[in-house]
Amino acid sequence: MDFPMFHLDWLNNRMLIAGIATLHVIINHGLAVGFIPLVTWLEQKGLKRSGANQITDLEWDEKVYKMMKVAFIITTTIGAMTGVGIWFSASLISPSSIGSLIRVFYWAWFTEWIVFVTEVVLIMIYFLTWKNSNKSLRAKIRHIRFGWFLSLASWITMTIIVAILGFMMDPGNWNSNPNLINGFTNPLYLPQLAFRTPMAMLMAGVFGLLLATIFTKYGTEIRKDAVKSISKWIILWAPFTLFGAFWYYKAIPEGMTANMSTAVGTIDFAQYYGLLKYFIIGGVSLSVVIAVIGLFKAKVIRPYMVVLPVVFAFAFLGFFERVREFVRKPYVIGQYMYSNLLLEEDMVVYQQDGILKHATYTSVNEVTEDNKLEAGKNVFMLACSRCHTGQGVNSVVDVFERMTGTKDTLNVAIMAAYMPNMHTGRNYMPPFPGNEAEAEALAIYIRHLQDSGESIEGVQTEGVMVSSDYTVKAVINKQNKTNDNEDDK
Amino acid sequence: MKMINSLLISLQTNIPTPVPKDLPLPLPLPEWLLIIILVISFLAHLVFVNLMLGGTLLTLWSQIKGLKDKKYDLLAKEIASTITVNKSIAVVLGVAPLLSINVLYTVYFYSANALTGLVWIAVIPLVTIAFLLTYLHKYTWKVFENNKAIHISFLGLATVILLFIPFIFLTNINLMMFPEKWAVVKGFFNAMMLPNVFPRYFHFLFASLAVTGLFLFWYMSRKNYEFENLLPGFTRYDIQKKGYSLALIASICQMLMGPIVLLTLPAKGMGWNLILVIFTGVAMALPAMWMMWKGLQASRENIGKNFYKVVTLMTITVVFMGSGRQIYRANALEPHQKLVKLRTEEFQKIKKEAIVKSKRAQAAENSADLSLADKGKKVFNQNCAACHKPKEMLVGPPVTEMATIYKDNKTDLINWIKKPGKKRPNAPQMPGFPQISDEDMSTLTEYILTINES
């Protein structure tokens, strides 16, 4: 909360991170981790298909190269930039949490970065030397070996990042012993890796099937062979994906239940879990159906048929990431930092003194009779704006209207009375970080939002106000006073 | 304290300068080591950014020239093939300095990011589009052979975007050094107008051209580069000369731009340590420039004689300039960082006291001899008060209503609380509370049923 608050009042702040991150994961899993081994495997198949005086089946090799070109262009542009985008968006929306994580996991990310540099160099070599390697058998074999190295590097990147993600999901370790080892040893690590790996292969298969049908002509022998090969790949990985999903699915709720202060699985959680199950089963079986058709009736498959499984596989991964993020609540870092970026251990101070008193970026530092609306706005920005908007997605007005069943006129007294206890009934909500006067001011502001339809501006357009208690002048004066007092003693 | 005080005098103005708290976590490494990692990794990243931008500009120039003179079109194609590789390395090398600046200057960097938020996040889609355009340009050379205007416009658009991106970074990196400006800045374009952004931009632009000039000299001088096949209209010497000339002219422009950059920097970060480092850097560049000049005068065979010496000296210059940049930042932020530290410590102290106080209060409450009704009330407040008030409808019905419905029927009430259903169409369904222990449940329901209507 001690950062100027960037705010998107229509889109919702979390959505910005989620959109960028989900796109990144889809590209990373579908077009890097899973796709490179698929392409290398297909490239290797070209050697077996070659005639007596050929190095490789050149027509086949050309098609595989085209598939790789698509993956290369997408991963090195949208893939790479959304990766950076996760950092950028996190620094805007969630500075305290990403800042804290980097202070602790600097080395983890640094190591991941080194593997990542290796990966980029390898993908450059693999893709850019493809055509030249077709000049001799030795060069071709070496090229294929590069493909396998690259596959390994992509997978290692994932094993490290999953450890960091695993740590973030892991209950309680932050306070006792925050280090990367806990990421690798936490109960969610292996299930998550066991799910993500075959999932990546499966997605790559579906995506590969789409590309293979696009790049080959209907009725040709080469399309039939390509469809058959990739179908086999999909069928091979499907059971592993289901197994991994099942293992992971079993692992999360338990891990998260332990994380919750009150062990209630709320209605919202239950719904999401239920839906996820259908998404997983649906996504995998749709891929398998198309793969089985591809295996036995390869001729039938057309590009448009594969579009649906591709969309479904992507949707399901997106949904999976959403659930993974959602189960963290009310925390962003388990039992350390709430999703509104306030530390659990600071809560006692805020409830005692009020949050405004300790905030740097606020236009008022105390609720008075005259400033309730403005105070409420500041409290909203500090305590609610990471997850709620005024008028957009997950708007605070909407949730109160839905909850209290009052469409037209929200009741300030009811809202103010609700806030101090809301986290017990809605345990994905952090406790209200403020005193009674601030709860009332917030309620008044929410009512005002309902009446006025006003949207809330973030610092990116409005700039910041600085609390008069925490300007350089005020801090120095206070310091001098303390020193003088000490001198007097 | 007197010392800090005098350091801080310069920070006192009429515009309030905020003193936020820092994250209460230690740095993962000693500060000096992080600074070394930051400076080195940033320079490595920057060199490839220079090559990407310089390459794009030269390709554009060359391809436009190629409209009249076909050989320049071939040269453009050759330079274009280096852009996409350099851009990928530039991006991946950017991660390490980004991590390091996040950890070292958390408060400053994130605050500047937020204040320029929309344009800051626009870096991601903009750069993505520019990258896609460079691929489109690279892989459609044949397709648009007879439609050069369209083909060149792909690259033109990419160039415009890539020329704008440095403004975003420079604005942010500039703004983070001046917390005293945070309260006056309203949005990115406002922050961009702070002094020093534009001079630094041009300084950066000339650096890109100088680095790219040297790069092309090396790239096209390589023995295994099939120069005669790829660039039939040119001799190797032509290109070498062009590379050196570009590097030399751009370096001279750098020298002219440098003092303006220094003079437009606010005084607060100036110091003799900075001046010393910058001028040592300049001193290293001078002989390199002399050698380039000599190379240009020399015979065909000897033009590249001192090439590696030039590169080495220029690299040293770059390291000194990068260090100078860091020294200014450190000088400028030091007093403010001290205040932030003070404030962070103060808050930790307040927190410790508050925790002790609340623990004491809790202990007193627990040890107090509570009546059964009070115990029930406590469970109620913990679990139910969010949605239920004694007499009014809140999210759920008032407690008095429960007391009426379940009068003399404690078991059903307990069952309902453990596993509720849905009764009212206008209110949300109550979540179940299986975690309330039997004992608590008993006192809770006792409390609910005995609550007095009066």
B contact residues 7-36, partner A, Cβ 8 Å cutoff = 8, 11-12, 16-29
Q: What stretch of H or E contains B100?
A: helix B70-104
Contact B381, B445 (CB under 8 A): no
The whole-chain average pLDDT of chain B stands at 90
Q: How far is A108 from chain B (nearest CA, A)?
A: 11
Tens-place pLDDT, residues A368-420: 999 999 999 999 999 999 999 999 988 999 988 887 776 778 888 888 888 88
Closest A-chain CA to B95: A113
| Optimal mutation site among B4, B17, B23, B107, interface A, most CBs of chain A within 10 A | B23
Asked if B269 is an interface residue toward chain A (Cβ–Cβ < 8 A), one would say: no
The type of residue at A475 is V
CA atoms within 13 A on the CB side of A138: 0
Distance in angstroms between the alpha carbons of the first and the last residue of chain A: 36
Interface predicted TM-score (ipTM) of this complex, two decimals = 0.93
Residue A230 has φ and ψ, to the nearest 5°, of -70, -35
| pLDDT score at B139 | 95
**The three-state (H, E, C) secondary structure of A253-309, written as one string:** HHHHHHHCCCCCCCHHHHHHHHHHHHHHHHHHHHHHHHHHHHHHCHHHCCHHHHHHH
| Inter-chain CB proximity A470 and B339 less than 8 Å | no
| Inter-chain CB proximity B95 and A84 less than 8 Å | yes
What is the b/e burial string over A21-35, where b = at least 16 CB atoms within 10 angstroms of the residue's CB? bbbbbbbbbbbbbbb
| pLDDT score at B452 | 61
Closest A-chain CA to B104: A103
| Optimal mutation site among B13, B92, B100, interface A, most CBs of chain A within 10 A | B92
Q: How far is B276 from chain A (nearest CA, A)?
A: 31
pTM metric for this prediction? 0.92
Contact A287, A309 (CB under 8 A): yes
Asked if A371 is an interface residue toward chain B (Cβ–Cβ < 8 A), one would say: no
Cβ-based contacts of A467 with chain B (< 8 Å): 18
Residues (pLDDT < 70) of chain A are 1, 169-172, 252-274, 406, 487-489
**The three-state (H, E, C) secondary structure of B256-286, written as one string:** HHHHHHHHHCCHHHCCHHHHHHHHHHHHHHH
| pLDDT score at A229 | 96
pLDDT along chain B (454 residues), means of 10: 47 78 94 96 97 98 96 96 95 96 96 96 98 97 94 98 97 95 94 92 96 96 92 94 97 93 90 93 96 95 94 97 95 95 95 93 78 78 79 81 84 84 73 78 85 57
Tens-place pLDDT, residues B53-95: 999 999 999 999 999 999 999 999 999 999 999 999 999 999 9
| pLDDT score at B426 | 66
Asked if A82 is an interface residue toward chain B (Cβ–Cβ < 8 A), one would say: yes
Of B103, B185, B382, the CB nearest to A102: B103
| pLDDT score at B10 | 46
Q: Which residues contact B98 (CB under 8 A, 6 or more apart)?
A: A84, A87
Cβ-based contacts of B132 with chain A (< 8 Å): 73, 77-78
| pLDDT score at B13 | 55
Q: How far is A97 from chain B (nearest CA, A)?
A: 9
CA atoms within 13 A on the CB side of B284: 19
Cβ-based contacts of B95 with chain A (< 8 Å): 84, 87, 109, 113, 116
Asked if B205 is an interface residue toward chain A (Cβ–Cβ < 8 A), one would say: no
Q: How far is B172 from chain A (nearest CA, A)?
A: 12
Cα gap A442→A374, rounded to integer Å:
9
